[in-house]
Structure 1
Amino acid sequence: MLEPGSGSAVRPGPGAQTAPGRSGAPLAEAVLAVARRDIASFHALPLSHGGSIRNSKVRDVYEALFGQAQLAAEVSYSGTMLDSFFRPRGPLRAAQRLAASSFGADATVFLSAGTSTANRVALGALVPAGGRVLADRSCHQSVHFALGDLDAVTEYAPMRRCCAQCPRTFADLRQLLDMFALAVAEGVPYDTVVLSAVSYDGVRYDLPSLLSALAELHPSVSVLVDEAWGAVHHYHPRLRALTALEAVRGLRETEPGLPMTVAVTHSAHKSMSALRQGSYLHLMGDGELRERVAQSLFQHHTTSPSWPVLASLDLARLQAETEGEALLDRSLNLARTLRAEIRSDPRLSAFRVLGPQGHLSDPALLVHEDPTRVLVDIGALGITAAEFRRILFDEYALYVARESGDAVVFHVHIGVDEGTLLRLLDALRTMQRTYRATSEALAGDTAEHFIIAYPPGIPITVPGEKLSARTREELDALRTSGVEIYTLRQGGTASHPAPASSLLSGTADTE
């Protein structure tokens, strides 16, 4: 069965060594040790140490993509040779214990198949057969599908929006608590509650208040908290207070012996220095809970875990302990700078930080803003958010993933440094100069510029022409199709407000 960590009160400070050995990351050290040996395997993987590609024509591509070190670390040793994934007794167990102690959990499980699998494993352990579940509607798809497979009786709390000016959505947590209280009063309490506590676009739930209210209404309830985007929050004093594990620790101090069981999933690669698919599953509960999780892990996780991914979870924990607060200080400062520059620099006036004064913090709604995310409206550029993301990627080598209406989310994570932020600000200023022309050209009732779609190179508007709703609709359709659109002032000075596929410079082609 899974073993508990050494105590939830342990919280190593900067520079702390948390385990014997050179690095304090026992699993990473063990994987590195076997990678350095020239071990020939009669089991798997053919690719390990580059064996199957030694004389291959594609060897150079493999090594360019993965490097010799990655190929050497891709091993398939189990049991006493390295450790058992499902019943660890060696370096994996040591690494998981260190992680449990570091995060303040009773036990921690490493997974190499992503947080979708971690959610499925957790629900398999928490939800009894035919159990009643109250779920956050905004949960990841893995939660919804897992609940369907469990034949759980699931009800969803309704969603709400931050405000009219902000597209962020999240569960109506007051309604969720009302639904939970009504079920308790009617004698049919929910067995399990599922919360998506740190959202893609920067909403954080007030977990101390939420979990306290649930425990007061039904002390033996089990809760799954999906904190996929917030693993690193534990390592900064400003962010730690709203995390699930810290909330449970506080509850236990005020209510010793509380029977509530809590599972927390962290998609480590989203906020920490872990490889993709690395996930933590933290448990707050007794030995029975840990045994149920061990059984569910065996049922749902691949029997061929990636040891490099598991080792990266060990290293990510160590880095977060020793450097996390400083890295998060940088992230918070850079996010603050991005907001301030957008608000104060006239060269960025086409952009607008969204939310109440750019911040989301409403105790009445039990939600707060993740300050490392900046939600920005780009509608004044005259291009869609999808076009904006494409241009930013193609022309400036900058990537943003999240869009909502005319807004995009910039996640200022611990991998973003000062140079990266300067690149972004320079790109935004250039895009404002280039793309805002079309929006300004259409601002009035009468065209002041030539607006020309290429191909075919025929003006959509000419100076002095009355602008109709149909003209604006035609331009929107052309932008969506990827046609290049040019704005030319009388006299031939050109602007280039919209190719979806490329950002042109210089003079427009004429034929």
Structure 2
Amino acid sequence: MSNETAHIDQFLLIHSARADNWRAVTTLADAWALGRGERAAMETALAGLEAVEEYHAYPGTQLLTALRERIATNDAGGAAKLARRISNSLLTRAYRGRPAEWDVHDEMSPTEVADVMPPATGETGGRRPYFEALFVNSQPSARWPAFAREIGRLRRPEDPFIYEPVIVGSFEDAICATLLNPDIISVVLAEGFPYHSRHDAPVLRSVLDPLGETDSADMSALRLARALRRVRPELDVYLLSDRQVEKIAGDPTADAIRRVFYAVEEPLEMHLAILEGVQTRYETPFFDNLKKYARRPIGTFHALPIARGKSVFKSDWIRDMGEFYGLNLFLAESSATTGGLDSLLEPTGNIKRSQDMAARAFGADHVFFVTNGTSTSNKMAVQALLAPGDIAVVDRNCHKSHHYGMVLTGAQPYYVEAFPMTAYSMYGAVPLATIKRALLALRAEGRLDRLKLLDLTNCTFDGHMYNVRRVMEECLAIKHDLIFLWDEAWSGFARFSPFLRPRTAMGAAAEIEEWLRDPASVDAYEKQQADLGDTPSDEALLTTRLIPDPRLVRLRVYQTNSTHKSMSAIRQGSMLLVKDVDFHTVEAQFHEAVFTHASTSPNQQLIASLDVARRQMELEGYGLVMNAIEIALKIRRAINEHPLISKYFRALGAADMIPEEYRQSGFTDYLAPGSTWATAVKAMQEDEFYLDPTRITVVCGTAGFDGTQFKGLLANEYGIQLNKTSRNSVLLQSNINNTRSDVAHLVRVLVEICHGIEKRLSDGGEGERATFAARVKSLMTDVPDLPNFSQFHEIFRGDAGRTTPEGDIRAAFFNAYDPSLCEYVPLIGDECDRRLREGPEMVSANFVIPYPPGFPIMVPGQVLTQETIDFMRKLDVKEIHGYEKARGLKLVKPEAVTAKAKR
């Protein structure tokens, strides 16, 4: 496996590598046909593909056999023609809707063009959705083609979908096929298959070994079903058995099986079950109902004139809006919640069903659709889970919605700090030791009972993902009923990647649930307790990987997703996911939070897009996320390995973004020498922090651009949009929408920019080079230290503990509503410097949030320090929320502080 092996071993590039490898085969075939190459090179390249091609339905046995025969008979022209046909069909996906593509004797005419364009407005495209079903059996491979033909004969014109079988004969091949072929969304298992593959290919070991699926002692279909659902939980798995199916169906471990069939019964039932399983995921209750509603004649006498579109299309002045958006947008609008529609505030019909289906897809017990963005989701969760006087341990750098949620509820935030990345003017994530230290400090103060919530961002804007399971388990070992709120606004897609799912709140919660049910968990806990002794020191607890008591744990996990940020939802579409054994105790509060924050006129199209986004991710999310990862890795490689681009720009790797102490596996970067799928999996399983590969921090300060300036250049001059910057970097995000054409465009733009820099430095002489060097030094070396949270002033500490830093942020926030209690002090000037030296202390009256970096460097009631003022003065960003340059810093007046302190 020459060059292909490197791609396969990395695994994360396997899907794009397949297309590239077929293009390579085509190039070799063309060269052979023209007399410029050798048959042996063509044979070697094809042999390198065969182990992987068995895991895909197309090109299939017939076309591969024909290609081998043409090579064997020295038919170079025929081999080149067939190789090109296969490669083009894979590229255009023509085989999905054109049955002739599967027939070696029926080729596309020279005048025919593959249907690669999206359907016109109002059309459905006319093509039934295509998928592949994996059949795992013990029949000899010589019988597989006949078996595939039998399956094909079960198709009927009225079937809503069309599928092709992929047939394998072992446990290993089943796992590999499921991982390497994202088109597989249904699996049929027949008992009696062996463990080992009939192939001896490196691809098997490179994919399987890192997953730990190497125990060949248990080859049962139930074990395989559990393994398949572990890597891809969205799969439908069916079991065919010729023994006691009733007993198998009742097995407690059979929960991974959708349905059990007696093997000798009518195969049509199996075919219909496969289609029904896909239909269950394909259904979108709200969107389906909205389409029906739009087709009905409706008389509207409610307060939404735009509904049905008459006011638009009958107008001479705004008809262009209707022509731009299309009639269906207006036909599907309504402010009614009756007549077949449903209420988002109190759903009982199709919205409720859609939310239940989303809960199934995302591994939650409950899901709330939110149409005001994840800012609202966060405030809903905080309001429902916290009451005045409760304490929440909060990442100080989390999104402002969490801070404002604390203001609304009156809860007391106990701010914990993330590790700094000073060189890039950004923060990482909060170390576990910092979190544990906060919990132990509260326990020492006798205030642990008031701690209700741990509130963290995962993954961060810049891609830091926590070891979520470890964080929750160790915190539960200190406080067994602690509630967790994970803001996963940027990583909702991670659910559909076996590579990233364990680092999500719902993925980790499922693993903890399984561990809690295992009798061995009690033994593990009791052994650790014996090792620690009756009164372990805080130092021992900080340095030990703590195990919670499974008999006491109350698993209460909440996760917010900006569905619109990583899935096909309209802007502001969000979901709030719940897995809480005590949800019944806060359910009424949650409904109150919904009533508080949700609009009484939610956008119907937003709700529909959330419904559709769930459908897409259940049916093709695995492949889409893998593509996003591949795109990101190609961007990283294109930037860091290009001889010109890499002179001025650099994509940061894990070693740049995460300090070594938090990378216990030693992982440095996805594209570092020696990095493989195995090393990436090891890092994902072991490291305290892990870098989401789809988030690419590109240093632009070395090219003389600050982040805001470079962002503007890309948008205004080249039509490339991004939104997050730092002092000397920009963040590129790959998502399920990106293609390799996007990568090519980005590379060409960066090359053009680099040529411009080279020309300017060459033409400008020594003076220009000195100016450029000074600019780079200013951006890359003369960076301000990042300020940590100082403290709440004593007047806003409320009843906080003696040694713990929580404060009454609500009182500080509303204190500023009285203008007579506030003053403004210029940021630049003698007064600010004098107050820092001599006092009285400067106390912030409001939030101050610079963009970038986007975290609050001042919160209401915070005592300002030299560190914070220095950072503010060195900021060169235009947008600072809560700061008026003309007036200065908004502070609580010293006399107001004194008066409040005396009360």
Bin for the TM-score computed over the shorter chain: 0.7 to 0.9
Instruction: State the distance in 1 between where 2:771 and 2:490 align.
Output: 42
Q: Secondary structure at 2:369's aligned position in 1?
A: strand
C-alpha contact 1:266 1:281 (8 A) present in aligned 2:
yes
Matched, 1:281 2:576: yes
Tell me what 2:397 maps to: 138
Structure 2 vs 1, CA of residues 85 and 470 (structure 1 numbering), >3 Å: closer, same or farther? closer
Aligned residues between the structures: 450
Q: Which deviations, in whole Å up to 9, do the C-alpha atoms of 1:424-443 show, x marking residues without a partner?
A: 111111111112444x45xx
Q: Secondary structure at 2:429's aligned position in 1?
A: strand
Q: CA deviation at 1:363?
A: 4.4
Q: Among residues 113, 116, 124, which one is paired with 2:372 in the alignment?
A: 113
Q: Which deviations, in whole Å up to 9, do the C-alpha atoms of 1:140-195 show, x marking residues without a partner?
A: 11110110111111110013224757845333442122111221343211111111
Matched, 1:31 2:290: yes
Q: CA deviation at 1:36?
A: 1.9
C-alpha contact 1:28 1:314 (8 A) present in aligned 2:
yes
Residue pairs, 1:105-504, within 5 angstroms: 105-162=364-421, 164=423, 167-189=426-448, 190-256=451-517, 258-285=553-580, 286-349=583-646, 350-357=648-655, 360=658, 362-363=662-663, 366-438=688-760, 440=761, 449-450=763-764, 463=765
Question: In terms of mean alpha carbon deviation, does 330-339 or 84-93 score higher?
Answer: 84-93
Please report the TM-score for the alignment, with normalisation by the length of structure 1. Answer: 0.81
Instruction: State the distance in 1 between where 2:439 and 2:737 align.
Output: 39
Instruction: State the distance in 1 between where 2:366 and 2:291 align.
Output: 25
Matched, 1:86 2:384: no
Structure 2 vs 1, CA of residues 44 and 23 (structure 1 numbering), >3 Å: closer, same or farther? farther
Instruction: State the distance in 1 between where 2:512 and 2:364 align.
Output: 13
The AA in structure 1 aligned to 2:441 is L
Q: Secondary structure at 2:722's aligned position in 1?
A: coil
Instruction: State the distance in 1 between where 2:454 and 2:276 align.
Output: 37
Tell me what 1:58 maps to: 317
Instruction: State the distance in 2 between where 1:402 and 1:107 align.
Output: 31
The AA in structure 1 aligned to 2:554 is P
Q: CA deviation at 1:303?
A: 1.0
Question: In terms of mean alpha carbon deviation, does 406-415 or 12-21 score higher?
Answer: 12-21
Instruction: State the distance in 1 between where 2:329 and 2:277 align.
Output: 26
Structure 2 vs 1, CA of residues 263 and 298 (structure 1 numbering), >3 Å: closer, same or farther? same
Tell me what 2:867 maps to: none
Q: Which deviations, in whole Å up to 9, do the C-alpha atoms of 1:353-396 show, x marking residues without a partner?
A: 22445664834682211110111112232233322222211222
Q: Which deviations, in whole Å up to 9, do the C-alpha atoms of 1:428-485 show, x marking residues without a partner?
A: 11111112444x45xxxxxxx43xxxxxxxxxxxx56698779957x999xxxxxxxx
Question: In terms of mean alpha carbon deviation, does 229-238 or 195-204 score higher?
Answer: 195-204
C-alpha contact 2:383 2:408 (8 A) present in aligned 1:
no
Question: In terms of mean alpha carbon deviation, does 345-354 or 267-276 score higher?
Answer: 345-354
Q: CA deviation at 1:123?
A: 1.0
Q: CA deviation at 1:33?
A: 1.1
Q: Secondary structure at 2:586's aligned position in 1?
A: helix
C-alpha contact 1:17 1:24 (8 A) present in aligned 2:
no
Identity %: 28
Q: Secondary structure at 2:437's aligned position in 1?
A: helix
Instruction: State the distance in 2 between where 1:348 and 1:266 align.
Output: 35
Q: Which deviations, in whole Å up to 9, do the C-alpha atoms of 1:103-137 show, x marking residues without a partner?
A: 11111111111111111111111113321111111
The AA in structure 1 aligned to 2:712 is R
Structure 2 vs 1, CA of residues 22 and 293 (structure 1 numbering), >3 Å: closer, same or farther? closer
Question: Which consecutive residues of structure 2, in runs of 5 or more, have no partner in the other structure?
Answer: 1-228, 237-273, 518-550, 665-686, 780-903
Q: CA deviation at 1:315?
A: 0.6
The AA in structure 1 aligned to 2:602 is P
C-alpha contact 2:706 2:726 (8 A) present in aligned 1:
no
Question: Which consecutive residues of structure 1, in runs of 5 or more, have no partner in the other structure?
Answer: 1-7, 442-448, 451-462, 478-511
Structure 2 vs 1, CA of residues 23 and 45 (structure 1 numbering), >3 Å: closer, same or farther? farther
> Over aligned residues, Cα RMSD in angstroms?
2.9
Q: Which has the higher strand share?
A: 1
Instruction: State the distance in 2 between where 1:433 and 1:378 align.
Output: 15
The AA in structure 1 aligned to 2:302 is H
Instruction: State the distance in 1 between where 2:424 and 2:322 align.
Output: 49
Structure 2 vs 1, CA of residues 333 and 42 (structure 1 numbering), >3 Å: closer, same or farther? same
C-alpha contact 1:110 1:281 (8 A) present in aligned 2:
yes
The AA in structure 1 aligned to 2:235 is G
Structure 2 vs 1, CA of residues 311 and 111 (structure 1 numbering), >3 Å: closer, same or farther? same
C-alpha contact 1:19 1:25 (8 A) present in aligned 2:
no
Q: Secondary structure at 2:602's aligned position in 1?
A: coil
Q: Secondary structure at 1:45's aligned position in 2?
A: coil
C-alpha contact 1:162 1:355 (8 A) present in aligned 2:
no
The AA in structure 2 aligned to 1:406 is N
